[in-house]
Every structure is written in C-alpha cells, then in structure tokens.
A and B are shown apart, each in its own frame.
Chain A
Amino acid sequence: MILSDFEHERPGTLAEAAVLLRRHGADARIMAGGTDLLPNMRVNLVRPATVISLSGITPELPKSEPDGTIRIDALTRLATLENSTLIREQLAILAESARAVGSNQIREMGTLGGNLCQETRCLYLNQQHDYQFVVPCFKRGGACCYPFPQNKPDVCWSVHMSDVAPALIALGAEIETVGDKGGRRLAVEDLFTGNGLKPLSLDNGEIICAIIVPPRPSGFGWGYHKSARRGGLEFAMAVMAVTLRVAADRNTCTDARIVIGAVRERPVRAVAAEQALTGTILDDASVAAAVAAAIEEMKPLPHHGFTKSYIVDNVRVYLRRVLTRAVRNARGEAETA
C-alpha cells in the first residue's frame, strides 16, 4: 500500500503540462485532485514514472456568457460547483450531481475534469493484487478476468462510475481540450469510448481544460438521481440524469435527453427512450413508455454485487420518478416532498 517512487512535475500552465505529458508518454499521468489517481497507484493499478500535477494552476471561476452559455474550468473543485451560486441557479442538475460525489473531503479535493477522467471500477480491478488475486487481470496486462471468467482479453466489463458525467451529457455539454497538437472540442458523450480497457477517447498529451454548457431553452426541466446502498460516501449502483423541454402548452415534450450512468463502461444515452418521449403529451403513460424503452437499451453490467435484474428494477422505479420530477420542474411546479 506504500506508493512507489515517481518523479513529480508541477507545470504552471496546461500547455506546459500537455508538452510534459507528450514527452513522458505512457509513463506519465496527470493528477488534478489526486482522489482517483493516488488510490489507484496505491493498489498498483497504475504505476506512473512521472506524475504531472496540475495543482500549480489556479482554476477560473465558472463564467456565464451573455447568451447563457456557461464555461467551467476543468480544474474547478466539485465543492466549488456544489456551492457556486451561478451553478446552483443556472445548472442545478450539475450542482446536485457534484453534491452526490464521494464525501465532503473528496469534493473539496476532486475536480470536475478529474471526475470525468476517472478510472473505471470493478470489484477486483481496484483491489491490491497480491495475496487474494495473484494473477493480474486483463486490464492490468494479465491473463484472466475475475468477475467474468469467460471474457476474452480484449474485453473489460468495468464500470465508469462518474456521477457528474450523466448530468453533463444530459445538459448537452462540450469539452474543450488542450494538447501539443492544438485543442479541440468534443461532446462529453464522445469522451467515452465504451471500452473498459481504454475508457477515454483523449489522445496521449491531451488534457481537458474546460467544460462548456450550452444555454438552457425556455420550458427546460431536469431530474437527477443517484441510486446507491447508503446514500453517501460510495460509488453509484446507477445514476439517472434527465433534461427535457416542454412546449408553450406545458404538456408536449419537444426535446428530451435521458442518460443512465454507472451501469456500463460508459454513461448510456437512452436514445430510443428520448425518441419515445419527444413529441408526446407528457403524462404517466408516455413516461412509462420512455422508462420501458430506456430499460430495454441500457443493458446494465452486473457490478459491485448488484445483479442485472436488481439494477433494472431500481432504474425502472427511479427513472420514472426522475422523469416525473423533470416534467414538474419544466412546468414550473413546486417540488412535492
């Protein structure tokens, strides 16, 4: 459990960090808050020769542009998001998802960008591999898969546990990156590859610098729920994030985004469910149809002791509640306790 030796670099800008990352190649890791990287280093899941710390860079505060676009520095602490008046008023779904992460201490240390870039998890992968599990698993470059013994070496069914990513995808947010080859912009959902062996689509030498959330239209409503055993200090069983838009009649759904996180190698966008909801009159029947479609397409992996059917049952109940809450929110109705 003692950390292995590594070199420590602390660049002053993200551009310098990207150059360092490219120079050190696969032996280097970026560290923002360290709440994911350091525990993974302790269990030897990663053993970087160089850690490039971003702690020397001060994040900018979240900014709202005149058209309603909100730009959030990737190094913003989750606690800052949770407590920022701008985020709480304009992007309440993001504030609530940040509040669902880990513990108070983790949120004070962990960053938004780091949360998106966290390592996938499974009951075995994130354990010390010495006395219980001697043979490394496929993701660790070994020759077996503990939870799914029938798996082939090119498959890793570990789960991406971000609580924040589903909220950002539901908001239609984009990521801005810097790299030594210049920056690019991509949708948050395109950050995830769906391959547990390499969950992120970032190039080597590419770092997320900001998250850009587009303006919320009129008639916008949201709902969010993190299902977990205890309700604090834990990774999710399933995360549900919904945003939708109602027409001026306050009944017709003109647009919907339904995202289910922490059930697969990447957050799942329930496209069929979104289509089932769009254009319909929002009532119990259309919500139930959307929930049924979402369950059909999310295809959860059993993880952390939760069986597939248990996750499906949980999502069936909570996605209905989240959708109902989003509809009420879009209509401007008060929350009922």
Chain B
Amino acid sequence: MSKAQTNQKVRSQIVEICVNGEWHELTVKPRNTLVEVLREKLGLTGTKDGCEQGVCGACTVMLEGHPALACITLAVECHGKEVRTVEGLAQGEILSAIQQAFLDQGAVQCGFCTSGMLMSATALLEKNSKPSLAEIKKALEGNLCRCTGYNAIVAAVQQASGQGVKPIML
C-alpha cells in the first residue's frame, strides 16, 4: 500500500535549472522533487532530505533568491529558475562568513540541519545585514535541530553579521 503508484504513461519533461551558477538540462518526471533531482541527478548531496513534508527545513535551498523547501518543490516548477544550494556558498577553499561562523561557534553537531540552517541564515543576511536576535530567531524558525544546538547557531549568525560575538572554537 505504501508503494508509490507509478504510471508509465506520465511523460518526462526536460527542464533547465541553474544550480549554483551552472545551467543543467535534466529529464524529470512531474513527481520528482527538487531535492531528489539535486541529490540523485546532480549529486549535490549537501542538501538534506529530512521529513519530506516541509516541516524540518533540512532541504532549504534558495530559489530565485528566496528560501524554499526543496522537498515540496517540484523540479518541473523550477524550469528556467536559479537555485543556490549549500555547495554554492564557499568560494573554492574559502568558506563564506556564515560557514566560518558556524565552525567558530561549534554550531555543527550531527550536521544534518546545518545546510538548511546555512541557507536560511544566508537568505536572512542578504536581506538584513544586522538582524536583531528576534529577527534571527524568526528567520530560523523553520529549521529544526534535533541536537537542539540552537544557541550556538544563533550566535553564529550574530558573529557572521559582526555583532560583537567572538569565536569560541579556536
């Protein structure tokens, strides 16, 4: 009963998606979600597939500059759109400020929520370079951390936005 119904008559479609600045032409079925395509067709496994129902935020990516949940975004809907994933944050070996702050604050425990947290935090910092504590918490409310390391994550966002929080992991 839990087996997904497959219908061979449903045609695949060709979509063009720009992932981290690189255009990809992909053949997808309508039922394929963005996170499946990113992980399984493009091998970008940084984006995590958590609850699969739009709750946990582990699959957060930036779609056209806005944070979006890749597990409830259909890949066919992303045709012609620009997607940024956690793999696009670092410039080669140089981590982005928020990635470095996560390391400095020990904000990574098991790491499963981290890529979603980084994308939500990046989206916040691009809109608001000096967010208040309340704004940080509101922006990260859609990302669950089962290790409950929220304080370090909030501190990392504060450090990355230059709000007087010093690195603690040296």
Q: Which A residues are within 8 Å of any B CB, using their own CB?
A: 1-8, 10, 34-35, 38-39, 42-43, 47, 51, 53, 55, 79, 102-106, 108-109, 128-131, 232-233
Contacts and interface: CB of A to CB of B under 8 A. Distances in A.
29 contacts: A1-B2, A1-B53, A4-B7, A5-B30, A5-B31, A6-B10, A6-B30, A7-B10, A8-B76, A34-B72, A34-B73, A35-B54, A38-B33, A38-B74, A39-B72, A42-B52, A43-B53, A55-B77, A79-B66, A102-B142, A103-B143, A104-B123, A105-B54, A105-B57, A105-B60, A105-B69, A108-B67, A128-B2, A129-B1
Tell me whether chain B's interface is mostly helix, strand or loop, or mixed. Answer: loop
Interface in B51-103: 52-55, 57, 60, 66-69, 72-74, 76-77
Nearest to B119: A105
B69 to A, nearest CB: 5
Interface in B10-45: 10, 13, 29-31, 33
Contact of B141 (A7, A35, A42, A232): A232
B130 to A, nearest CB: 17
Interface residues of B, number: 37
Nearest to B137: A232
A102 B33 CA distance: 20
Interface of B: 1-2, 4-7, 10, 13, 29-31, 33, 52-55, 57, 60, 66-69, 72-74, 76-77, 120, 123, 137-144
B96 to A, nearest CB: 19
* 6 closest Cβ pairs, A-B complex: A103-B142, A8-B30, A232-B141, A39-B53, A5-B7, A4-B5
Contacts of B13: 8
